[in-house]
């Protein structure tokens, strides 16, 4: 029997019961005749931050790419933000990509443009050609400043992006992703270029976005302790197959070790 949920309880528990924003079943991805992912299952629910772990070449980036139609799904099903990746119409792909905020290892900002303008580019899907020619609307500017404030660098709004540190640039990239009003955020090794302290603070910010704003985050990481500290669940890949999928509190140490053992990386030595 389950205990009744107190009405005073935070609603993150309820959010986790909600429909997943990412739902992948038995997913295969292949480049030509080369299979990269086989039989992968993955759920990411509102409020959650899920870590994607695995040795180099295990398929983390490919899985992320498949969720936005940048890698070919050859079997199974994948639903993201209500879109069925295996049955997309042309117009849907653009809509899907505007509903998915992406954060990358190398930040992917435009270096000579101001921090504010970089954040505003997140609203481009919403802006239309006239707005582009005439600049961004004051509503979007206000919103961009709010997000910059949220990620703690509003005071840098006028500086060119290239003048910021790595940690600050990644915060700009997160503000840009928020500017899209995403339903889910995919972050592929977002802290791999940052020192450990900055890495922790950027992941903490993402966790807060997941729990407070209810925008779930799927984040690939190559440092296990960061996943254990900041994420709710871990999905671990080895040679394109799912070896681990469990809440952080119920992880099997042997299986985790298996993610990084010799066999797990042998694909790189062929
Ligand atoms: N465009 C592509 N065409 C053919 N093979 C590819 C392509 N992209 C990736 N692969 C192959 O798919 C496998 C998984 O690569 P992927 O980049 O997804 O790994 P990863 O887990 O993200 O590794 P890393 O930790 O180094 O970023 C590798 O064997 C890689 O060579
Ligand atoms: Mg990768």
Instruction: Report pLDDT digits (tens) over 88-104.
Output: 887 899 999 999 999 99
Say which ligand is closest to the CA of 59.
Answer: 1
Look at residue 38 and tell me whether its pLDDT is greater than 60: yes
Q: Angle between the 196-213 and 166-179 helix axes, to the nearest 10 degrees?
A: 20
Written as six digits, the tokens of 68 are 């936005």
- Which of 97-101, 124-128, 205-209, 231-235 shows the lowest mean pLDDT across its residues? 124-128
Q: How many angstroms is it from 61 CA to the middle of ligand 1?
A: 7
Confidence of residue 124 (pLDDT cuts 50, 70, 90): confident
CA angle 62, 65, 67 (to 5 degrees): 115
**Do 224 and 214 form a contact (C-beta atoms < 8 A)?**
no
Question: Model's pTM, two decimal places?
Answer: 0.90
**Do 56 and 43 form a contact (C-beta atoms < 8 A)?**
no
From 53, 55, 58, mutation site for ligand 1 pocket: most ligand atoms within 8 A of C-beta: 58
216 C-beta neighbours (distance < 10 Å), count: 28
Q: How many angstroms is it from 57 CA to the middle of ligand 2?
A: 7
Classify burial at 50, counting beta carbons within 10 Å of its beta carbon; exposed 0-12, middle 13-18, buried 19 or more.
Answer: buried
175 C-beta neighbours (distance < 10 Å), count: 29
Classify burial at 159, counting beta carbons within 10 Å of its beta carbon; exposed 0-12, middle 13-18, buried 19 or more.
Answer: middle
Can you tell me which atom of ligand 1 is nearest the CA of 189? 27
CA–CA gap between residue 126 and residue 211 (Å, rounded)? 25
Q: How many angstroms is it from 188 CA to the middle of ligand 1?
A: 12
**Do 188 and 220 form a contact (C-beta atoms < 8 A)?**
yes
36-45: b or e for each residue (b if 16 or more CB lie within 10 Å)? bbbebebbbb
From 30, 54, 61, 267, mutation site for ligand 1 pocket: most ligand atoms within 8 A of C-beta: 61
Kindly write down the DSSP assignment for every residue of 139-196, as one continuous string.
HHHHHHHHHHHHTT-GGGTTSBGGGS-HHHHHHHHHHHHHHT--SEEEEESTTTTS-H
Look at residue 2 and tell me whether its pLDDT is greater than 70: no
Can you tell me which atom of ligand 1 is nearest the CA of 63? 18
Query: Which residues have CB under 6 Å of ligand 1?
Result: 31, 34, 36, 54, 56-62, 222, 267
pLDDT value at residue 50: 98
Give, using CA atoms, the residue closest to atom 1 of ligand 1. 31
Query: Distance of alpha carbon 264 from its chain centroid, rounded?
Result: 24
Classified as helix, coil or strand, 210 is: helix
Q: Give the pairing type, strands 217-220 and 34-44.
A: unpaired
Can you tell me which atom of ligand 1 is nearest the CA of 220? 22
CA–CA gap between residue 18 and residue 83 (Å, rounded)? 16
Q: How many angstroms is it from 66 CA to the middle of ligand 1?
A: 12
pLDDT value at residue 89: 85
Confidence of residue 10 (pLDDT cuts 50, 70, 90): very low
What would the mean pLDDT of 67-74 be, rounded to a whole number? 96
| Greater pLDDT, 54 or 6 | 54
Domain 19-109+184-269: which topology? Rossmann fold (3.40.50)
pLDDT value at residue 9: 43
Confidence of residue 19 (pLDDT cuts 50, 70, 90): confident
Q: How many angstroms is it from 219 CA to the middle of ligand 1?
A: 16
**Do 82 and 50 form a contact (C-beta atoms < 8 A)?**
no
Q: How many angstroms is it from 236 CA to the middle of ligand 2?
A: 13
Look at residue 11 and tell me whether its pLDDT is greater than 80: no
Give whole-number Cα distances, 64 to 83, 136, 139, 220, 234, in Å. 15, 30, 31, 9, 15
Q: How many angstroms is it from 137 CA to the middle of ligand 2?
A: 36
Confidence of residue 1 (pLDDT cuts 50, 70, 90): very low
Question: Half-sphere exposure of residue 88, counting CA atoms within 13 Å on the CB side?
Answer: 25
Give, using CA atoms, the residue closest to atom 4 of ligand 1. 31
Confidence of residue 270 (pLDDT cuts 50, 70, 90): very low
Look at residue 230 and tell me whether its pLDDT is greater than 50: yes
* pLDDT tens sequence across 238-255: 999 999 999 999 998 888
């Amino acid at each position: 029997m389950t205990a009744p949920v107190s009405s005073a309880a935070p609603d993150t528990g309820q959010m986790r019961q909600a429909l997943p924003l990412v739902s992948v079943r038995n997913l295969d991805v292949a480049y030509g005749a080369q299979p990269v992912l086989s039989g992968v299952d993955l759920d990411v629910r509102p409020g959650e931050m899920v870590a994607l772990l695995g040795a180099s070449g295990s398929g983390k980036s490919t899985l992320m790419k498949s969720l936005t139609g940048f890698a070919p799904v050859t079997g199974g099903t994948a639903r993201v933000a209500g879109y069925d990746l295996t049955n997309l119409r042309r117009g849907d792909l653009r809509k899907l990509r505007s509903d998915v905020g992406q954060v990358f290892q190398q930040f992917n900002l435009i270096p000579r443009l101001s921090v504010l303008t970089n954040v505003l580019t997140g609203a481009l899907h919403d802006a239309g050609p006239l707005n582009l020619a005439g600049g961004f609307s004051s509503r979007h500017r206000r919103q961009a400043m709010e997000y910059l404030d949220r990620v703690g660098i509003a005071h840098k709004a006028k500086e060119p992006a290239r003048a910021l540190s790595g940690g600050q640039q990644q915060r700009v990239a997160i503000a840009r992703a928020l500017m899209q009003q995403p339903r889910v955020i995919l972050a592929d090794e977002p802290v791999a270029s940052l020192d450990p302290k900055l890495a922790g603070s950027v992941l903490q910010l993402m966790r807060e976005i997941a729990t407070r704003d209810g925008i779930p985050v799927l984040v690939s990481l190559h440092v296990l302790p960061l996943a254990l500290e900041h994420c709710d669940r871990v999905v671990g890949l080895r040679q394109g197959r799912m070896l681990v999928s469990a809440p952080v509190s119920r992880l099997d140490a042997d299986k985790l070790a298996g993610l990084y053992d010799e066999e797990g990386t042998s694909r790189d030595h062929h």
